Amino acid sequence: MKQWVCLIGFSALILLVGTVAYADIRPHALFSDGMVLQQGMETPIWGTADDGETVTVEFRGQTQSVKANDGKWMVRLPPTKAGGPFSLSIRGKNGIEIKNVLVGEVWICSGQSNMQWPVRASNNPDEEIANADYPQIRLFTVPRIVAGKPQENVDAKWGECSPQTIGDFSAVAYYFGRELFKKMNMPIGLIHTSWGGTPAESWTTRETLASEADYQPILDRWNQSYDKFENDVREYAAKLEDWLKETDQMDREGKIVSDFPKLPQDPRRHPWRPAGLFNAMISPLIPYAIQGAIWYQGESNADRAYQYRTLFPAMITDWRREWKQGDFPFLFVQLANFEYKTTKENAWPELREAQTMTLSLPKTGMAVTIDIGDANDIHPKNKQDVGKRLALAAEKIAYGHDIVYSGPLYDSMSIDNRNIRLRFQHVGGGLMTPDGQPLKGFEIAAEDQQFVPADARIDGNTVLVSHDAIEKPVAVRYAWKKNPDCNLFNKEGLPASPFRTDDWPGITIEER
């Protein structure tokens, strides 16, 4: 019997040693079967191994070797052209062969629920899913996790786009990637990393949040919630002791025992934790070579729209600094129209304004969706047009195609007698309204700052706005409501962004 025990123990030891040796080299999860590598750009490949172990990476005739330091290794392959499928090998004490590798265009797809919203819940889901046979589009979804410190890896893998895989994938990301694939005819890699209902500060580094006094209230709220949690835990321990005594007595008396005390909610796991999603869902992806990022978020910051004027650009700058790829294209979706029509001003127009102001950053683009929202649903199902408009921005900003990619953006105004004349960028083939309808959505005000519905008409590539009762107009607003009735487009069919010509204090100016 002892001999059998010894033999079993020795065999187990051999298996354990073999397993440890074979697992010495481990690439990051992004480097797995079916991956897409960014074309035309130096390509970092990295992972873990024993200290001092030599790791060799071979791909398309290129070979790079490096010694692992502190358990980590990274090589940088020279730029390569689009194509595939190929194999990528990693060799050391053990060997790994990564198969079905494509080279093409890689995009990060992030934000909150409208980015997370799946194909199966968008328009025409049965038809879209059945037709989603695009093996050269590859999908990678980052698990939704919160972390207090930057993480190094994720538990995910690549998959081919097919009717079997697309249903639960981000609709906006898929329709964006599909448009690019059709236009460019090359592999597309989509890395989806989003979480519904989350604010921009969750996706921003702690260092950036701590660098500006304007963001200190964000950190203060977190600190207060954690202090409260610690106090709740202490109180819970006392409640639990009392509950045990009470229920023991009830049980002895034949009574039904009361419910177990509700556990305190740990804010460390809450997706609103400042930097929590950057740490767990963005940082582990860096420095994977990418072409750019698309972003659909803003609803959760609307009540702090003035703060978003700096917070959103700071987040974009943050990502670019951490990636060390320069000013990669960052394309985002402006908040769509939502909720029943109302004349009451609210925070959403100010958030849209903050998003528009972010276009001052280099290589940014904005998809305006003020015409394709849903008054009754914060998650409009028309994600197809959202993806198309983001893809138009990518064609121009990332790939330099000579196209009209944006609807009209307000540029300047002048007072012309009793009229205000508005000028625009991105007029394309000219300004228009669908079916030649009268212009809607314009308001005008005198110095009393009281806006009233205005008469507006297209005059060449400008718009003239007036009101019979206002002799000296000073300001115009367009589509300045949560769900405006508006209809200014360019002839390419892209809607004008909501705007205002004044800078009078808004309702979120003090909110932090």
User: For residue 52, is it within any domain?
Assistant: no
User: For residue 176, is it within any domain?
Assistant: no
Q: Which residue has the tokens 């002791």?
A: 241
User: For residue 468, is it within any domain?
Assistant: yes
User: For residue 252, is it within any domain?
Assistant: yes
| CA gap 123, 388 in Å, rounded | 14
Q: Which ranges constitute the DSSP H helices of 188-261?
A: 206-210, 216-252
Q: Which of 252, 268, 284 is the last residue of a domain?
A: 268
Strands 62-67 and 54-59: antiparallel
3-state SS class at 4? helix
DSSP state of 303: G
Helices (H) and strands (E) in the chain, counts: 10, 24
Strands 54-59 and 95-111: unpaired
Q: How far is CA 356 from CA 110, 216, 367, 373, 511, in A?
A: 18, 24, 10, 18, 19
| CA gap 172, 59 in Å, rounded | 32
Taking the whole predicted model, whether its pTM rises above 0.75 is answered as yes
The number of folded domains in the chain is: 2
Range of the domain at 483: 409-500
User: For residue 66, is it within any domain?
Assistant: no
What are the residues whose beta carbons fall under 8 Å from the beta carbon of 108, sequence distance 6 or more? 191, 193, 282, 285, 290, 292, 293, 294
User: For residue 314, is it within any domain?
Assistant: no
Tens-digit pLDDT string for the chain (512 aa): 334 334 334 344 434 343 343 448 999 999 999 999 999 999 999 999 999 999 999 999 999 999 999 999 999 999 999 999 999 999 999 999 999 999 999 999 999 999 999 999 999 999 999 999 999 999 999 999 999 999 999 999 999 999 999 999 999 999 999 999 999 999 999 999 999 999 999 999 999 999 999 999 999 999 999 999 889 888 888 888 888 988 888 888 888 988 888 888 999 999 999 999 999 999 999 999 999 999 999 999 999 999 999 999 999 999 999 999 999 999 999 999 998 665 556 899 999 999 999 999 999 999 999 999 999 999 999 999 999 999 999 999 999 999 999 999 999 999 988 999 999 999 999 999 999 999 999 999 999 999 999 999 999 999 999 999 999 999 999 999 999 999 999 999 999 999 999 999 999 999 99
